[in-house]
Structure 1
Amino acid sequence: MLLYYIIALFIILVDQLTKYLTVQSIPLHETVEVIPSILSFTYHRNTGAAWSILEGQMWFFYIVTVIVVGVIIYYLHTHGKEDRLFALSLSLILGGAIGNFIDRLFLQYVVDMIRLEFIQFPIFNIADMALTIGVGLMILYLIRDEWKEYQKKKVGKTSD
């Protein structure tokens, strides 16, 4: 179980380090090209959620994040040992949620910096990546879990 908290902590640390380095080395709204036409870093302040939805609604984000973190910790303790994919997805979501929560709590906005040049996509950060990957893994876990249940029912019907 400790491993999954270490993963979440690692995500938080890398997220906060990259945000700190961005703020210290890139002027607001300026872009530093990393891989031409593919990847750049742009210092952006996001006062909302993904795609800047619900801008300025900090109390909403505080409440939702505290609830989400509580639920994740509960499920990690009660069901995390049952499935590694489930626990990994929770740890990624936990790390991402806390990473962005730290920004919202202390800065009143989230520092975003990763920009994909080859598509029209919002600027994001490490916490956002962890959240996205965590949710993707959770969806895979749920599909796999439903498939296992379906197979059990199917086998049960054929043996009747």
Structure 2
Amino acid sequence: MQNKKPYLKPFFVLSLLFFGVGMIIFLDQLVKYKIRQIGGFYICNSGISFGLNLHPVLFWSFLSLFILSTLFYLLYITQKGNLSTIQSLSFVLLIGGALSNGLDRAFFGCVIDFITILKPLFPLFNLADLFIFIGSFLLFVLVLLKKDSSSV
């Protein structure tokens, strides 16, 4: 009889990843809902990052490609059993933020931006943007650390 235990870990890891993505989306959407109720201090950003404009077909193509390639990569890594906790967190933040902003575009035609830091220097952004930035930064640091350790 074949042992099914090796498949338990990847399934469990993927379940946790999807739960984490769901929580990121829920938190971001809840905050944006409350911001829209209060009103007055948010903008509806129809552009992409930092107010840049991109044709909707191109935007959805890039977003779909990003999500699909990330999901396939996640499936590949979890099947190999090489996904670290930091990598998992990075992917959860990245995918959750991207999907939450994608939901805004699908339902509202724009992304609700409401956080400002040093207003003249930085544009408005939202929690999903922050999650995407943190997830990307963590992955970038992991890649740099991996290159440093492999060159030793």
Could you tell me how far apart the structure 2 residues matched to 1:87 and 1:74 are? Answer: 14
Cα distance in 1 between the residues matched to 2:34 and 2:21:
20
Q: Which segments of 5 or more consecutive residues in structure 1 lack a partner in the other structure?
A: 28-41, 152-160
Alignment of structure 1 residues 4-153 onto 2, 5 Å: 4-27=17-40, 42-55=41-54, 57-80=55-78, 81-82=81-82, 83-117=84-118, 120-151=121-152
Distance 1:118-1:106 versus aligned 2 partners, 3 A rule: closer
Question: How far off its partner does 1:87 sit?
Answer: 2.2
Larger Rg: 1
User: Could you tell me how far apart the structure 1 residues matched to 2:93 and 2:50 are?
Assistant: 20
Cα distance in 2 for residues equivalent to 1:121 and 1:7: 28
Segments of 4+ moved more than 4 angstroms: none
Question: What are structure 2's unaligned runs of at least 5 residues?
Answer: 1-12
Q: Which has the higher strand share?
A: 1
Answer whether contact 1:58 1:108 (CA < 8 A) is retained.
no
Tell me how many residue pairs correspond in the alignment: 136
